C-alpha cells in the first residue's frame, strides 16, 4: 500500500539534494525474475535498504533524498514485477518469501553488512518480514504507515471501513463491480485484473489504484487518471498479494516480533492515516521497549506529506549522529 511520491520537502528537516547512483545492476533470481538494484551515497557508509510500497509501487529518485549521502550507503531496488525489474507485472514466483530472499541475495551480492531497513506501508510489512527471518542482517528498522497484512487491516480498506469517511470515492471504487460480487471486492477485482482480456485488466486497474491514491494524502485532491501500464502493474501485483493475504499467516508479524525486539525501531505514523490507521502501528509498538512510535499531527499516509517527510529525515539524521550500526 502506497501512493506515487511527490517531490515535496518538509518545513524543517528538508530532504537532501537529488543525487545519482554510483552503481546500478540487474540481479537474476529464480522464476525468471531480474531485479533492478541501485546504490547511492557513501560506498563505505552505513547500509540502508529502502523498501517501497505497494506491492508494485516501485522505487523513485525521490526516495534517495531522506538520507545523508556522506554517512549512508543507500540501496534501493524494484521488487519483483514492478519498476525496472523484469518481467513486468508478473506474479509467477512472486510471494513475500521470494521478496525476503531477494533482499538477502542483494545483501550478499553487494557485500553488505547488517543494514537499516527503511520502509513504509507495504515496505514496512516487508521490512518486518525480512528482519524476523534475518535478524542478524538487520541493524535497525525505520517504518512509516505500518501495515502488517492482517485481515482486519484489509477489511478496513476493502471491506467498507474507510468508506465511512469517503463514501463518494468508495462509490467510484464499487461502480465497476456487479452488486452480487461486492461482498468480496478483492476477489472481484482479482478475477478481472487476471482476466485473459487485456482491456478488462486495464479497465479495472485504474479504479483500484485511484481508490488507494485518493486516500493517501490528508489534503490530496482525488486523482482521475494515471499512466495505464503503471496502473495495471500496481493493481495486479497488489491485488495478487492481498488476494493471498500477503502470503503471511494471520498475525504472523506480531507473533514473531520477539525475534527482533532486541533491535531499535522508529515508527513514523500519520495521525490521520486513512490507508493504514494508527491502531496498527500502536499494536506493533506496544510492549516493544526499543520501539519508538512518533505520531505525526495533521498528516495522513503518503511518504511525500511535508511533516511525514521531515520526521523521516530527522529520524535518519538522529541515527547517523548516534552511529547506529
Per the residue annotation, which of 33, 190, 243, 301 is the catalytic one?
A: 301
For residue 117, give Cα distances in angstroms to 8, 125, 245. 22, 11, 22
Nearest to 29 by CA among 76, 99, 82: 99
Under DSSP, the state recorded for 71 is T
Give the strands of the sheet with 46-51, arranged side by side. Answer: 23-28, 34-41, 72-77, 46-51, 115-120, 138-144, 265-270, 291-296
Q: Hey, is 224 helix, strand or coil?
A: coil
**Is 23 annotated as catalytic?**
no
**Is 168 annotated as catalytic?**
no
38, β-bridge pairs: 24, 76
| Helix (H) / strand (E) containing 24 | strand 23-28
Per the residue annotation, which of 2, 90, 102, 121 is the catalytic one?
A: 121
Per the residue annotation, which of 52, 273, 299, 304 is the catalytic one?
A: 273
Under DSSP, the state recorded for 182 is T
Distance, in Å, from the CA atom of 78 to the CA atom of 76, rounded to the nearest integer, reads: 7
**Is 34 annotated as catalytic?**
no
Q: Which residues carry out catalysis?
A: 121, 273, 301
Amino acid at each position: 500500500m502506497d501512493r506515487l511520491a511527490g517531490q515535496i520537502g518538509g518545513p524543517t528537516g528538508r530532504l537532501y539534494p537529488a543525487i545519482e547512483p554510483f552503481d546500478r545492476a540487474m540481479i537474476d533470481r529464480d522464476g525468471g525474475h531480474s531485479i533492478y538494484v541501485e546504490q547511492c551515497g557513501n560506498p563505505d557508509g552505513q547500509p540502508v535498504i529502502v523498501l517501497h510500497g505497494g506491492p508494485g509501487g516501485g522505487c523513485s529518485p525521490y526516495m534517495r533524498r531522506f538520507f545523508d549521502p556522506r554517512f549512508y550507503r543507500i540501496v534501493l531496488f524494484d521488487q519483483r514485477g514492478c519498476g525496472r525489474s523484469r518481467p513486468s507485472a508478473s506474479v509467477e514466483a512472486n510471494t513475500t518469501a521470494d521478496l525476503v530472499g531477494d533482499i538477502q541475495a542483494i545483501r550478499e551480492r553487494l557485500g553488505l553488512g547488517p543494514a537499516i531497513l527503511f520502509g513504509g506501508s507495504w515496505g514496512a510489512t516487508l521490512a518486518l518480514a525480512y528482519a524476523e527471518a534475518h535478524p542478524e542482517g538487520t541493524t535497525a528498522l525505520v517504518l512509516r504507515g505500518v501495515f502488517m497484512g492482517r485481515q482486519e487491516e484489509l477489511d478496513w480498506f476493502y471491506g467498507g471501513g474507510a468508506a465511512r469517511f469517503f463514501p463518494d470515492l468508495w462509490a467510484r471504487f464499487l461502480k465497476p463491480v456487479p452488486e452480487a460480487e461486492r461482498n468480496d471486492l478483492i476477489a472481484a477485482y482479482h478475477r478481472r485484473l487476471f482476466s485473459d482480456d487485456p482491456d478488462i485488466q486495464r479497465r479495472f486497474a485504474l479504479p483500484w489504484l485511484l481508490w488507494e491514491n485518493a486516500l493517501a494524502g490528508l489534503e490530496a485532491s482525488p486523482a482521475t487518471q494515471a499512466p495505464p501500464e503503471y496502473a495495471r502493474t500496481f493493481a495486479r501485483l497488489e491485488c495478487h498479494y492481498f488476494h493471498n493475504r500477503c502470503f503471511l499467516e494471520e498475525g504472523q508479524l506480531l507473533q514473531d516480533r520477539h525475534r527482533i525486539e532486541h533491535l531499535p525501531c522508529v515508527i513514523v505514523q500519520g495521525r490521520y492515516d486513512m490507508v493504514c490507521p494508527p491502531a496498527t502501528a500502536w499494536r506493533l509498538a506496544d510492549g516493544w521497549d526499543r520501539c519508538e512510535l512518533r505520531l505525526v499531527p495533521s498528516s495522513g499516509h503518503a511518504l511525500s506529506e511535508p511533516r511525514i517527510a521531515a520526521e523521516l529525515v530527522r529520524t535518519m539524521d538522529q541515527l547517523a549522529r548516534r552511529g547506529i550500526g
